């Protein structure tokens, strides 16, 4: 139990929380560029959050205690997910608290409460959002787990720090299993964080929305926390994808130089990842809800194919 490690973990988590809106803003900016629009300032999400935090909360008359607790619990669960995810350094004691499977558990916990909150007021939109969110996540779960399986078979561990170290030691990534798993994981990320083509994060008042439908009734600081949690969730998934499948450069010690290099590299990779995501969102159109199973089946097949490749081709 070294105090520097815990301090580093705390700082890393704070960095996670602080950077999440920025990442969302970056994706929006690239998207605007690609669509010939003028982007808002990179600080706009922070201004939005500040505005929401300073506003008064207004509750629907039938809201129960679940509705009021949900923002805190959702944020708490996502914070936990951020805490155990290696961001710029592997040298933190918190990565051992939970492995990749527990990480999916945190997201599931957040989703559970979000869906309950959607159903709490009794509006049709809330119920619809909750139902769809749970459907999509139920279908995404096997694909996610298969990805975890493939990766953890390659690294023979589910601990994120061990997985990342193990993949880092193979200098170039030629393993087809990892490529497949990475592709599958990208599709899962799109589904889990509610991006196009599964859900549209910027839609309102449409029968197609999923995430927004659940948080329609929220206002003030509650809404701010939920928005922030959603941004944080996207960032955690992005960092996971980057660090598992392209970990080179992550810091192994708490020295200042490696940390600075790792931070710079991570910023660069995140920018690239955000660009890719924005490009994909620009090119693709949102698909029908009943096409989502095929989309996620593809993700599952990719991840499963990765595992089969590992067993057939790589295990010898």
Partner 1 sequence: MTLQIAIGAVLGYLISGGLALLLSRHPRWQRTLAFALLSAGGILSIAGGGLGLIGTTQTQTAALGLPWLPWHLRLDALSAFFSLLLGLVTLPAALYGFGYCREYDQDAQRRTPLYIFTGLFVGGMQLLLLADDAFSFMIAWETMSLASYFLVAFHHQRADARRAAFLYLLMAQAGGLAILLAFGVLATFGHGYDFTAMRLAALPPGWAALAFALAFIGFGTKAGLVPLHIWLPEAHPVAPSHISALLSGVIVKMALYGFIRVTFDLIGNVQWQWGVAVLLAGAVTALYGVLYALVQSDFKRLLAYSTIENIGIIFLALGLSIIYLGSGHPLLGALAFVASLYHALNHACFKGLLFLGAGAVLHNTHETNLERLGGLMTRMPWTGFLVLIGCLSISSLPPFNGFASEWLTFQSALQAGALESGVLRASIPMAAAVLALTAALSAMTFVKAFGVGFLGLPRSPHARHAREVNGSMRLGQGLLALLCLLLGVFPTLVVTHIAAVSRLLLQADLPSATAHGWLWLTPLAADKASYSAPLVFTGMLIAVAVWVAVYLLLRPRRQQEPVPRVPAWDCGFGGLTPRTQYSASAFSMPIQRIFRSLWYLEETTRESKPTFGIGQPAYPRYDVRVHDWIQVRLYEPIGQWVLAAAKRIGALQTGHLRHYLLYSLLTLVLLLWLLQ
Partner 2 sequence: MFFSQLALYEQAILALAAVVLLLTFLMLVHPRILSVIKLFAWQGLAVAATTALVAYDANAPHLYISALLTLLLKAFFIPWLLLRMVDRFDLHQELDSLSHPVLVLFGGIILVVFCYHTTLPVAAQLTAITHNVVAICMSVVLLGMVMLISRRKAVTQVVGFMALENGLFFAAVAVTEGMPMVVELGVAFDVLVAAIIFGIFFLHLRQSIDSLDTSRLSRLSERERD
Q: Which residues bind partner 2 (CB under 8 A)?
A: 170, 172, 174-177, 179-180, 293-294, 297-298, 301-302, 304-305, 308-309, 311-316
- Told to check if 185 binds partner 1 by CB under 8 A, we report no
CB of 136 to partner 2, least distance (A): 15
Q: How far apart are the first and last CA of the chain?
A: 40
Could you tell me how many residues make up the chain? Answer: 316
Residues in region 96-125 near partner 1 by CB under 8 A: 96-99, 101-102, 105-106, 108-109, 111-112, 115-116, 118-125
Closest approach of Cβ 66 to partner 1, in Å? 6
Q: Which residues 40-59 are close enough to bind partner 1 by CB under 8 A? A: 56-59
Q: State which residue, 81 or 234, has the beta carbon closest to partner 1.
A: 81
234's CB contacts (< 8 A; 6+ apart) are 20, 23, 24, 193, 195
Distance from C-alpha of 60 to C-alpha of 83, rounded to nearest angstrom: 33
Site for partner 1 in 278-307 (CB under 8 A): 289-290, 293, 300, 304, 307
Q: Which of 89, 152, 200, 231 binds partner 1 (CB under 8 A)?
A: 152
Could you say which of 15, 22, 32, 145 contacts partner 1 (CB under 8 A)? 145
Neighbours of 123 (CB within 10 A): 16
Burial class (CB in 10 A: 0-12, 13-18, 19+), 3: exposed
| Token pair in block for residue 157 | 């561990």
Q: Answer whether the bond into residue 197 is a cis peptide, omega within 30°.
A: yes
Closest distance of CB 306 from partner 2, Å: 8
Out of 16, 23, 149, 237, the only residue in the binding site for partner 1 (CB under 8 A) is 149
Residue 251, beta-bridge partner list: 89
Nearer to partner 1, 34 or 69 (CB): 69
Give the interface size with partner 1 as a residue count (CB under 8 A).
Answer: 81
Q: 56-85: which residues touch partner 1 (CB under 8 A)?
A: 56-66, 72-73, 75-77, 79-80, 83
Helices 65-84 and 220-245 pack at an angle, to 10 degrees, of: 30
* Residue placing its CB nearer to partner 1 in the complex, 83 or 89: 83
Q: How far is CA 41 from CA 21, 119, 201, in A?
A: 12, 35, 18
Q: Using CB under 8 A, which residues numbered 207 to 246 contact partner 1? A: 216-217, 221, 225
CB atoms within 10 A of CB 78: 27
């Amino acid at each position: 139990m070294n105090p520097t490690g815990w301090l580093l973990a705390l700082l890393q988590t704070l960095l996670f929380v602080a950077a999440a809106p920025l990442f969302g803003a970056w994706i929006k900016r690239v998207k605007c560029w690609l669509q010939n629009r003028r982007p808002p300032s990179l600080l706009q999400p922070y201004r939005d959050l500040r505005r929401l935090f300073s506003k008064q909360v207004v509750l629907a008359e039938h809201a129960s205690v679940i509705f009021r607790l949900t923002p805190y619990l959702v944020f708490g669960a996502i914070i936990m997910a951020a805490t155990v995810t290696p961001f710029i350094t592997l040298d933190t004691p918190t990565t051992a608290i939970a492995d990749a499977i527990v990480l999916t558990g945190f997201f599931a916990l957040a989703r559970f409460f979000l869906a309950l909150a959607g159903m709490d007021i009794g509006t049709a939109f809330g119920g619809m959002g909750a139902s769809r969110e749970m459907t999509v996540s139920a279908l995404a779960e096997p694909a996610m787990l298969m990805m975890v399986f493939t990766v953890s078979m390659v690294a023979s561990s589910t601990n994120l720090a061990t997985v990342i170290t193990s993949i880092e030691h193979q200098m170039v990534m030629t393993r087809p299993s990892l490529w497949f798993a990475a592709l599958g994981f990208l599709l899962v990320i799109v589904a889990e964080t509610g991006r196009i083509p599964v859900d549209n994060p910027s839609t309102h008042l449409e029968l197609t929305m999923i995430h927004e439908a659940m948080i329609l009734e929220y206002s003030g600081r509650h809404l701010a926390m939920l928005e922030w949690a959603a941004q944080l969730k996207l960032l955690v998934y992005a960092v996971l994808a980057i660090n598992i499948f392209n970990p080179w450069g992550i810091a192994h010690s708490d020295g200042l130089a490696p940390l600075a290099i790792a931070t710079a590299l991570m910023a660069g990779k995140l920018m690239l990842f955000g660009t890719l995501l924005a490009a994909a969102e620009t090119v693709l159109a949102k698909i029908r809800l009943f096409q989502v199973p095929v989309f996620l089946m593809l993700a599952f097949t990719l991840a499963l194919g990765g595992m089969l490749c590992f067993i057939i081709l790589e295990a010898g």
